[in-house]
């Protein structure tokens, strides 16, 4: 916050009626975020709706330039085009914007922040702070304590991404298509490009014909390097959409500068912020979407030596995290807390 501002800011949520917007409301309430006023913005078709917050029904307004006057902190989750149009307006009126879209993430003058990793980057903001891609946050938050102790040289990421990453409409399509499949009824998918029930497919973003990587994979690669401050880190990603309603899973294999053991990884993660070890070999119980859904921490397990690397420098593990929480809303609110 800029000097002279009230300790209790005016907070605005842009995209308040969307899946992430609803979670932003919940995070602000659960974490007792101090605010003097909350403004909820969405598209014109949502005007007239109300959303509950701290026992009150807060009206939803259409996002306009005038409505942003007097806002101190803007939490934007309304898509890249909306962010590009309205985030600079909010900043010009004195707000700091935490933006959940991809609009500003790779801008050199915009910090890309995971508070457990690089909170100091927030100080360099010029009015806009970018919230990273959900798959990137869930993948790399558990890696940071390891990277700090034994630098990661190479990282291979394979994601299992839930419908929540594509928004409320995709979650509804998964539910409805699954019901139709079980009833033996035909269902025509309209939100995602392929049938979703009992199916999985490459992430539904455009594939670069030169690299062969889709946009989601490219985001994860580039954002990992920026957040870690490692522009030359060797990273590869394969992003897949799976028929799970909520919470992404990720398979991680990484190579470090020096030999590393599973015991060292467990010790490094045992007290690390934002993560929880779920690694019961005896019961074959490891991170799952059903356990990560609705939870703040990222679950980490399947921690084992990568037997394909005889040098002992590599580890494989599996993580699960709620895309709507730590992958989006919670991370944004944590950034806003740092601003206070």
Q: Catalytic site residues? A: 134, 248
Distance between CA 108 and CA 172 in Å, rounded? 37
Q: Output b/e per residue, 28-55; b: 16+ Cβ within 10 A.
A: beeeebebeebbbbbeeebeeeebebee
Would you give the distance in Å from CA 296 to the centre of its chain? Answer: 12
E strand map for the chain = 10-14, 37-42, 50-53, 56-62, 73-76, 96-99, 128-130, 152-161, 201-202, 234-241, 248-256, 275-277, 298-305, 314-321
Distance between CA 199 and CA 15 in Å, rounded? 30
CA angle 86, 91, 93 (to 5 degrees): 95
Q: List phi, psi (to 5°) of 244.
A: -125, 135
Distance between CA 274 and CA 142 in Å, rounded? 8
What kind and span of H or E run contains 88? helix 80-92
Alpha-carbon dihedral sign for residues 216, 175, 81, 329:
negative
CA angle 87, 89, 92 (to 5 degrees): 110
Residue 277 makes CB contacts below 8 A (sequence gap 6+) with 266, 269, 270, 299, 300, 301, 303
Distance between CA 318 and CA 40 in Å, rounded? 37
- The CB density around residue 204, as the number of other CB atoms within 10 Å, is 18
3-state secondary structure of 340: coil
Distance between CA 54 and CA 72 in Å, rounded? 20
Alpha-carbon dihedral sign for residues 274, 279, 280, 283:
positive
């Amino acid at each position: 916050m800029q000097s002279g501002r009230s300790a209790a800011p005016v907070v605005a949520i842009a995209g308040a009626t969307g899946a992430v917007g609803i979670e932003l409301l919940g995070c602000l309430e659960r974490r007792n975020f101090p605010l003097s006023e909350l403004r909820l913005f969405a598209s014109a078709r949502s005007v007239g709706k109300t959303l509950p917050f701290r026992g009150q029904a807060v009206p939803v307004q259409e996002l306009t330039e005038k409505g942003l006057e007097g806002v101190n902190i803007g939490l934007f989750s309304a898509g890249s085009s909306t962010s590009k149009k309205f985030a600079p307006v909010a900043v010009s009126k004195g707000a700091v914007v935490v933006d959940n879209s991809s609009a500003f993430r790779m801008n050199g003058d915009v910090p890309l922040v995971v508070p457990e990793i690089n909170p100091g980057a927030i100080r360099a903001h010029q009015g806009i702070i970018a919230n990273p891609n959900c798959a990137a946050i869930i993948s790399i938050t558990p890696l940071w304590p390891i990277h700090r102790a034994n630098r990661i040289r190479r990282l291979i990421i394979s994601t299992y991404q839930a419908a929540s990453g594509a928004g409320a409409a995709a979650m509804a399509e998964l539910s409805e298509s699954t019901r139709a499949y079980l009833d033996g009824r035909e269902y025509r998918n309209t939100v995602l490009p392929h049938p979703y029930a009992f199916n999985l497919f490459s992430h539904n973003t455009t594939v670069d014909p030169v690299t062969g990587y889709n946009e989601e994979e490219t985001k994860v690669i580039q954002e990992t390097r920026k957040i870690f401050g490692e522009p030359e880190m060797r990273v590869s990603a394969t992003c897949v959409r799976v028929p799970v309603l909520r919470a992404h899973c990720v398979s991680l294999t990484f190579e470090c500068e020096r030999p590393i053991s599973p015991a060292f990884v467990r010790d490094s993660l045992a007290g690390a912020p934002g993560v929880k070890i779920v690694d019961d070999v005896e019961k074959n119980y490891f991170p799952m979407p059903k356990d990560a859904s609705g939870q703040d921490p990222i679950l980490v397990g399947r921690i084992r030596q990568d037997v394909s690397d005889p040098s002992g420098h590599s580890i494989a593990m599996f993580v699960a995290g709620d895309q709507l929480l730590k992958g989006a809303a919670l991370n944004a609110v944590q950034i806003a807390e740092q601003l206070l």
